[in-house]
Structure 1
């Protein structure tokens, strides 16, 4: 896969991670869960992140075994098809715990491509 395409995917995922973090900023778990618009916006960011992660080449994923790539890809199916199972507290936990290390890995990969 050409590096420009991989770079575009990385940038797309990073953009949606940044949006999710911005949307949830300043809210605690309860305030987040009570703000339906924010829950929906963040869930959409996670859905896009999930789908885009499927397009990353295996060599990128294999360099970062601590990232739960398979679960990330599978989460998109839940967001799209089992939306009744999407709980605000799980979305909150994803933003707080899973996105920061993912963002770090993606920034590292983007820097690797640009050097």
Structure 2
């Protein structure tokens, strides 16, 4: 999940919505990484998710489901917003969670 979030952010770094709109490769890469984030979130235990209520787990899995099931109707502006506005705080949350004592051996 962490790697996918970092990759999605890299896809849109130093670019703009128009560039993404004109690049099928960027669109596919962005959609795939956002789907991967949602799939990983969906596979977390309910206990883990409840221990981290600051993360919008339901929104993350809902976005994955939308991308998977309604792919040809995707609004690229929504993917852009997800990558530029929603994923940076998610990345910070994930990094903090993985740095926490629960993940130290």
TM-score by length of 2: 0.87
SS of residue paired to 2:44: coil
Q: 1:68 deviation in Å? A: 2.0
Q: Name the counterpart of 1:90.
A: 78
Q: Aligned equivalents of 1:61 and 1:101: distance in 2?
A: 16
Q: Which moved more, 1:69-78 or 1:57-66?
A: 57-66
Does residue 75 in structure 1 map to residue 63 in structure 2? yes
Which blocks of at least 5 consecutive residues in structure 1 are unaligned?
1-12
Contact preservation (8 Å) 1:50, 1:76: yes
Which blocks of at least 5 consecutive residues in structure 2 are unaligned?
none
The correspondence for 1:53, drawn from 26, 38, 41, is: 41
Q: Which moved more, 1:37-46 or 1:66-75?
A: 66-75
Contact preservation (8 Å) 2:39, 2:64: yes
Q: Name the counterpart of 1:6.
A: none
Q: CA RMSD in A?
A: 1.5
Q: 1:106 deviation in Å? A: 0.7
TM-score by length of 1: 0.80
Contact preservation (8 Å) 1:43, 1:79: yes
Q: Aligned equivalents of 1:77 and 1:90: distance in 2?
A: 14
